[in-house]
């Protein structure tokens, strides 16, 4: 049995922050941000009531409703995030409590922007092993709390949000998936943990906020993501043109356009929401999937390929029948 997605949901914070609004905060411009990234605006958390957990729960509820599945039917909840509200309990356990999904095992996965794909692939492996049958997978981030809002090279790139899918063990669905990591390249995208209060430890000044070497991340993404897609297609015995839609991690429209060029495919096959969401890390692929699903762009039997890259370094992809 493989993972078949039977419902999608998402939640974006109500507050929309435009590029012009950011140019009042740091020395930047709408022209610079749009031409370098394709981003026009992003949704950001703007109250204490809105956080990683609240967005995860709302996205999860909406995916369950779309799938017609009751919370108690879930036997697994995975949450992909690098921005949990708590170190422990996990966001997944807190979601389980809020949804009253009393029969589900729950844990978080940290693979940065590839996190949703790692979670989906983990669910598929559990289904193949016959361990679980019905899972809720959520990608959620509140990156706004990890960003240095005086650093123009990062603060313009990211947004907050959550996306979710319900997956069921089925004869059809997942065709092939892969994931990979290269820890030796990890220092190009880093967010250290907060101050160490241990009085016996030698204290070093920690980097509290997200640091990114943008050009190195760009080079990594435009090399690794097409390689990852090609090897997944090869594994499935398919050609790039056999895929109806490519739903890629929404970090930067130039990266998406470069991948489309490398695969010699029209951009119409690459739906994108980076212009209004920015980069929502682990949430970006499920938010996009929900958008495309709600617009009724996907027909039963369509072949879709999800792929992304992120800190770690990590990368992953999944090829599915809709
Ligand atoms: N507004 C105006 N100028 C800026 C801004 C800004 N927001 N940010 C940087 N600049 C300036 C720099 O200071 C630099 O000025 P200088 O030439 O005087 O030194 C100039 O613009 C060029 O900076 P670069 O970093 O070379 O700009 P580049 O064209 O590489 O674009 C960008 C930067 C958009 C970050 C690009 O490198 C990129 O998209 N990288 C990939 C980022 C990414 O995908 N991150 C996510 C990865 S994984 C995950 O999702 C967590």
Among the four given CATH numbers 3.40.605.10, 3.40.47.10, 3.30.1330.60, 3.40.50.970, the one describing domain 2-171 = 3.40.47.10
The CA–CA distances, whole Å, from 148 to 25, 151, 183 equal 12, 5, 24
Q: Is the pLDDT of residue 281 over 90?
A: yes
Indicate which residue's Cα is closest to atom 2 of ligand 1: 28
Whether 249 is catalytic: yes
Give the mean model confidence (pLDDT) for residues 145-164: 96
The catalytic position among 93, 113, 155, 277 is 113
219 pLDDT more than 70 = yes
Residue 201 — pLDDT band, cuts 50, 70, 90? confident
**Residue 61 above 70 pLDDT?**
yes
Confidence of residue 205 (pLDDT cuts 50, 70, 90): low
For ligand 1, whether the C-beta of 83 sits within 6 Å is: no
**Tokens in use for 194?**
């907060």
The predicted-structure confidence for 157-196, as pLDDT tens digits, reads as follows 999 999 999 999 999 999 999 999 999 999 999 888 766 7
222 lines ligand 1 (CB under 6 A): no
pLDDT in tens, 81-92: 999 999 999 999
Nearest CA to ligand 1 atom 22: 153
Q: Whose CA is nearest to atom 38 of ligand 1?
A: 214
- Rounded Cα–Cα distance for residues 267 and 123 (Å): 30
Which residues make beta-bridge pairs with 222?
none
- pLDDT number for residue 193: 75
Q: Residue 17 has what pLDDT?
A: 98
- Looking at residue 277, its pLDDT comes to 98
Total-model pTM: 0.95
User: What is the model's pLDDT at position 33?
Assistant: 98
Residue 202 has pLDDT above 90, yes or no: no
CATH class of 176-272+282-321: alpha beta
Atom of ligand 1 nearest to the CA of 36: 34
Q: Is 80 exceeded by the pLDDT of residue 207?
A: no
Cα distances (angstroms) measured from residue 16 to each of 8, 50, 167, 277: 22, 14, 30, 9
Q: Which atom of ligand 1 is the closest one to the Cα of 210?
A: 51
Question: Mean pLDDT throughout 74-99?
Answer: 97
89: cis peptide before it, omega within 30°?
Answer: yes
pLDDT tens readout for residues 232-279? 999 999 999 999 999 999 999 999 999 999 999 999 999 999 999 999
Q: Percent of the chain at pLDDT above 90? A: 93
Q: Which residue has the higher pLDDT, 211 or 91?
A: 91
Q: Report the residue among 118, 214, 259, 312 best suited for mutation to probe ligand 1: largest number of ligand atoms under 8 A from its CB.
A: 214
- Higher-pLDDT residue of 186, 202: 186
- Range scoring the smallest mean pLDDT among 121-135, 137-151, 202-216: 202-216
Active site residue: 51, 249, 277, 293, which one? 249
- Catalytic (active site) residue 177: no
167 Cβ contact list (under 8 Å, min separation 6): 3, 4, 5, 6, 120, 123, 124, 127, 134, 135, 137, 173
Cβ atoms within 10 Å of 68's Cβ, excluding its own: 10
Predicted confidence band at 203 (pLDDT cuts at 50, 70, 90)? low
Q: List the residue whose alpha carbon is closest to atom 12 of ligand 1.
A: 153
Q: Answer yes or no: is pLDDT of 204 > 70.
A: no
CA dihedral of residues 319, 302, 104, 250 (deg, nearest 10): 60
Domain residue spans of the chain = 2-171, 176-272+282-321
CB 121 within 8 A of CB 128: no
For the residues 87-114, what does the mean pLDDT come to?
Answer: 97
Catalytic-residue membership of 277: no
pLDDT at 160: 98
| pLDDT, mean of residues 51-57 | 98
| Chain Cα centroid distance, residue 144 | 15
- The helices-and-strands tally (H runs, E runs) of the chain is 10, 13
The answer, yes or no, to whether residue 225 has pLDDT greater than 80, is yes
Indicate which residue of 19, 121, 279, 293 is catalytic. 279
Judge whether residue 110 has pLDDT over 80: yes
281 lines ligand 1 (CB under 6 A): yes
């Amino acid at each position: 049995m493989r993972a078949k997605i039977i419902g999608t949901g998402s939640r974006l914070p109500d507050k929309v922050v435009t590029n012009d609004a950011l140019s009042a905060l740091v020395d930047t411009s709408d022209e610079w941000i749009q031409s370098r990234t394709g981003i026009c605006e992003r949704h950001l958390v703007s109250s204490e009531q809105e956080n990683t957990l609240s967005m995860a729960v709302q996205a999860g509820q909406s995916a369950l409703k779309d799938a017609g599945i009751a919370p108690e039917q879930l036997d697994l909840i995975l949450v992909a995030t690098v921005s949990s509200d708590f170190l422990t309990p996990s966001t997944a356990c807190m979601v389980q409590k809020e949804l009253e999904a009393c029969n589900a095992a729950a844990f978080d996965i940290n693979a940065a922007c590839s996190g949703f794909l790692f979670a989906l692939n983990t669910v598929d492996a559990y289904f193949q092993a016959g361990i679980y049958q019905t899972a809720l997978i959520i990608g959620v981030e509140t990156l706004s709390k990890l960003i240095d809002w005086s650093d123009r090279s990062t603060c313009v790139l990211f947004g907050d949000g959550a996306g979710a899918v319900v997956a069921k063990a089925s004869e059809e669905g997942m065709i092939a998936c892969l994931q990979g990591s290269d820890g030796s390249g990890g220092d190009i995208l880093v967010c250290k943990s907060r101050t160490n209060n241990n009085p016996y430890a030698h204290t070093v000044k920690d980097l509290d906020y997200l640091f990114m070497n943008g050009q190195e991340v760009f080079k990594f993404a435009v090399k690794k993501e097409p390689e990852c897609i090609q090897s997944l297609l090869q594994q499935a015995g398919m050609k790039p043109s056999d895929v109806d839609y490519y739903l890629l991690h929404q970090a930067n429209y130039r990266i998406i356009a470069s991948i489309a060029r490398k695969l010699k495919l029209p951009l119409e096959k690459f739906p994108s929401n980076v212009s209004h969401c920015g980069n929502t890390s682990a949430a970006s692929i499920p938010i996009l999937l929900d958008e495309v699903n709600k617009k009724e762009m996907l027909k039963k039997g369509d072949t879709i390929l999800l792929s992304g890259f992120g800190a770690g370094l990590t990368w992953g992809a999944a090829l599915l029948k809709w």
